[in-house]
Amino acid sequence: MGLAVALIAVLAWLDDRREAEAALEDFSQEQATLATSVGGQLRSHLLVLQRELESPSSRGSEELEVVSRHVALDAPAAAPPAREGAFNLRLRDAREATDVAVMMGPLLLEAARVAHPGESLVMVMPPGSNTLLSTGRQHVDAPALATALGSGAGTLRLDRKQAAALGLPARTAVAGLSIVDAGRFGRWGVAVVTSASRERDRQRRASLRLVLGVTLAGGLVFVFGAIALSKQRRELELARELELAAVGRERDERLVRADRVAVMGTLATGVAHEISTPLAVIAGRAEQLLAKNGLDDRARRHLEVIQEQTTRIGGVIRGFMDLARGGAPVLATSAPKQIARAAVRLAEHRLLASGVMLKTDVADTLPEVHCDHRLLEHALVNLLLNACAACERDGHIELAVRLCETHREHVAFVVDDDGVGITPEAAARAMEPFFTTKPVGEGTGLGLAITHEIVKAHHGTLTIAPRAAGGTRAVISIPIGARRLEMAAQ
């Protein structure tokens, strides 16, 4: 901001100097025009004088020839003596030569009207002389003017010392110069010298106004800039305080979530421990019944399913306990198609009972994923059951398994439903432990929280969002291959 004000001030000063120089140049041209005008008047007087001297009544009919001429401010030694301020001519005709004294006063009358004492000065330089005569018929010693007139210059700028020597104010002065051809009276020089003090004073006042204007404008810029900077500083401080408050709230929320996860882990560990005993009893009784003879095929199949599911439940419980203790899941290579089919098989009885139609769209050429098959299968079952709970009878669910569109090195398990949907606010909290939108007694708020922990243990992501067409979309994204998963773990 200061640099901009300084740049504007410099540009304004340069423009002021240019305008001042242009004004002085115009003033010089005015003096040159004035000198030309005075020179014209002087030439007219000299030509009239020449005609009078050559008239028959004055000298006869013979043509006169000027053989010598000079200006005498003091009486010359030669006779006849000339009065002070006379212009002496030596004329010759066929019979004799004679001296004629021409008074300078009438010749300088017009010049005297132009001159202003103490401000301007009009001078003439007669032919054959290097001395200038002022309107007061005084010698003026001005070698610079005489040289400029001799060279035919139109204007001349005089410094303070030269102006003071001419009796003008010790300020810059400008001389307008003109050469007058007076025929037989020779070539006369005319110089009109005027002090540029008025012009310089106007320029100085203009410069002062410029300085005051730039100073005032700069001051206003600095004042408003300071106000703006102060306001911006306060806004930044407020933004920093708000950011700190947001960070504090986020930290508190993370602590609350961590407490809930810890509670969930403790609860899961306790529940797993309590379930393991009756589960072992169920598995043992099923094994005893299978050892008996005489069982029909249907009863045997039911017992085998019971035994198979108790084994699965035991594996899931062990996986939960490992996660609760901070351990990593037991990874193995699995085909996404097999995981999807196993999850559908486990959830289909609930879907049939609710009258909800399930459609699957699983690509055949998907790469394998490195995962804990039982845990990932359980996470997908949770999504299917949540979708089923959100749908009314005759609702629709679609399970699609494909490569992730945004991360081609991930496999996405996408569950879409056309149920009641979910709000963005509820979607943002859906994975918090114990958060549920179901009526009291119908949900624990742990299903999606457990699913999220399972997916996070696989270095994947779980996203839940409302669909534009209605309903909800839940997506599990899992990295492909063991090496990528190991790199992510590092």
Q: What is the pLDDT of residues 255-265, one digit of tens each?
A: 665 665 556 56
Identify the pLDDT of residue 81. 40
Using the structure block, give the residue that is written with the tokens 């132009």.
114
Domain closes at, from 300, 327, 354: 327
Per-residue pLDDT reduced to its tens digit, 66-99: 545 555 443 333 334 444 445 555 555 445 555 5
Domain closes at, from 141, 175, 195: 195
What CATH number is attached to the domain comprising 121? 3.30.450
Whether the per-residue pLDDT at 226 is higher than 60: the answer is yes
Beta partners for 403? 411
Identify the pLDDT of residue 401. 93
Peptide bond before residue 433 is cis, with ω within 30 degrees of 0 = no
Q: Which of these ranges, 151-155, 158-162, 198-202, has the smallest mean pLDDT? A: 198-202
269 and 352 in a single domain? The answer is no
149 and 270 in a single domain? The answer is no
190 and 273 in a single domain? The answer is no
CA distance 208 to 18: 15
Whether the per-residue pLDDT at 274 is higher than 80: the answer is no
138 and 255 in a single domain? The answer is no
What CATH number is attached to the domain comprising 408? 3.30.565.10
352 and 408 in a single domain? The answer is yes
In a domain? residue 227? no
Rounded to an integer, the average pLDDT of 103-126 is 68
In a domain? residue 46? yes
Average pLDDT value over all residues in the chain:
77
337 and 469 in a single domain? The answer is yes
CA distance 115 to 175: 12
Q: Which of these ranges, 79-93, 211-225, 282-296, 377-391, has the smallest mean pLDDT? A: 79-93
0.85 surpassed by pTM: no
Using the structure block, give the residue that is written with the tokens 């699983």.
362
In a domain? residue 333? yes
271 and 394 in a single domain? The answer is no
320 and 465 in a single domain? The answer is no
Identify the pLDDT of residue 32. 87
In a domain? residue 65? no
357 and 453 in a single domain? The answer is yes
What CATH number is attached to the domain comprising 292? 1.10.287
Identify the pLDDT of residue 76. 37
pLDDT: is 19 or 95 the higher one? 19
Q: What domain range is 288 assigned to?
A: 233-327
In a domain? residue 318? yes
Whether the per-residue pLDDT at 357 is higher than 90: the answer is yes
Rounded to an integer, the average pLDDT of 309-325 is 70
In a domain? residue 355? yes
155 and 39 in a single domain? The answer is yes
Rounded to 5 degrees, φ, ψ at 171 are -135, 170
Q: What percent of the chain has pLDDT over 70?
A: 74
Encode burial over 376-394: b for 16+ CB neighbours within 10 A, e otherwise.
Answer: bbbbbbbbbbbbbbbbeee
Domain closes at, from 327, 344, 360: 327
254 and 395 in a single domain? The answer is no
In a domain? residue 346? yes
In a domain? residue 270? yes
Whether the per-residue pLDDT at 464 is higher than 70: the answer is yes
Whether the per-residue pLDDT at 59 is higher than 70: the answer is no
User: Domain tally for the chain?
Assistant: 3
112 and 157 in a single domain? The answer is yes
Identify the pLDDT of residue 259. 63
